């Protein structure tokens, strides 16, 4: 089992990523094994960043470059297992059939590089609700699911049931977070005003992250677990460490 950070929320707190090595040292210092994505602007930049990870004894799970083809190429070249599906616009106003058709094409091409293409369910995206996750899994049989337990629960989905149903098609990465409801009267069309993603145990809506841990243990999952707090109210290392300790205890 490897524990990492999907560090979008850290970027929000800091205003951006200014020094990858400094970021990695901070995360290593509190016990993480790496971050999810190596993001680069050129081949030389990707190699330099990969060197920084390995020099520090850390790792990453996938790559993101300037476009989808380059992301596939770098992910393959650097020996990683999966790439996020990037099949054009994936917002709520995109026709589902069009989106799924594009996903199938993306998956086929990613597979030609020997890597998996994974869907990250997300509030506000084309694949948000449980029935949409199920539609993707049915209509894109070669795709895999990068399950985000917070986004699925926030959309009323069944975390444990999804893990059990798609145990053979989970990506080698799962996102963990908790939810603090800010204003339940606000609809999901403004989900970022309705709720806040936070550290494990700080939520107030009953997200069963312990059930998710147990379900993953039951199916023998043994790959990346990523903590992702989309927003922080205190220094990220403090809040990330809280979630990390809970996860490590849970997966013992």
Tell me the per-residue pLDDT of 155-211, one tens digit each, with 9 for 90 and over: 999 999 999 999 999 999 999 999 999 999 999 999 999 999 999 999 999 999 999
Which residue, 219, 205, 141, is CA-closest to 174? Answer: 219
d(CA 85, CA 79): 18
> What domains are defined for the chain?
2-250 (3.20.20.150)
Tokens found for residue 41: 């602007």
Q: Which residues of 118-145 are buried (b: 16+ CB within 10 A; e: fewer)?
A: bbbbbbebbbbebebbebbbeebeebbb
Hunting for tokens 């970022």 — which residue is that? 192
Radius of gyration of the chain measured on its C-alpha atoms: 17
Q: 0.95 cut: is pTM over it?
A: yes
Phi and psi dihedrals of 44, rounded to 5? -65, -35
d(CA 155, CA 148): 11
Tell me the per-residue pLDDT of 70-100, one tens digit each, with 9 for 90 and over: 999 999 999 999 999 999 999 999 999 999 9
d(CA 170, CA 194): 28
């Amino acid at each position: 089992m490897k524990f990492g950070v999907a560090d979008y929320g850290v970027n929000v707190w800091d205003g951006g990523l200014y020094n990858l090595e400094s970021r990695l040292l901070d995360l290593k210092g509190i016990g993480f094994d790496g971050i999810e994505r190596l993001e680069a602007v050129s081949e030389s930049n990707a190699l330099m960043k990969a060197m920084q990870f390995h020099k520090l004894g850390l790792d990453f799970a996938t790559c993101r470059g300037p476009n989808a083809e380059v992301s596939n190429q770098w992910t393959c070249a650097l020996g990683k297992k999966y790439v996020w599906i990037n099949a054009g616009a994936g917002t709520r106003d995109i026709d589902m059939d069009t989106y799924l058709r594009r996903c199938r094409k993306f998956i086929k091409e990613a597979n030609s590089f020997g890597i998996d293409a994974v869907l990250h369910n997300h509030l506000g995206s084309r694949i948000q609700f449980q029935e949409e996750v199920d539609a993707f899994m049915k209509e894109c049989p070669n795709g895999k699911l990068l399950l985000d337990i917070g986004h699925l629960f926030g959309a009323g989905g069944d975390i444990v049931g999804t893990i059990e149903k798609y145990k053979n098609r989970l990506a080698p990465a799962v996102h963990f977070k908790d939810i603090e409801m800010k204003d339940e009267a606000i609809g999901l069309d403004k989900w970022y005003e309705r709720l806040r993603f936070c550290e494990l145990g700080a939520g107030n809506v009953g997200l069963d992250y312990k059930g998710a841990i147990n379900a993953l243990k039951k199916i023998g999952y043994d790959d990346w677990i990523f903590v992702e707090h989309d927003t922080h109210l205190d220094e990220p290392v403090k809040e990330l460490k809280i979630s990390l300790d809970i996860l490590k205890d849970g997966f013992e």
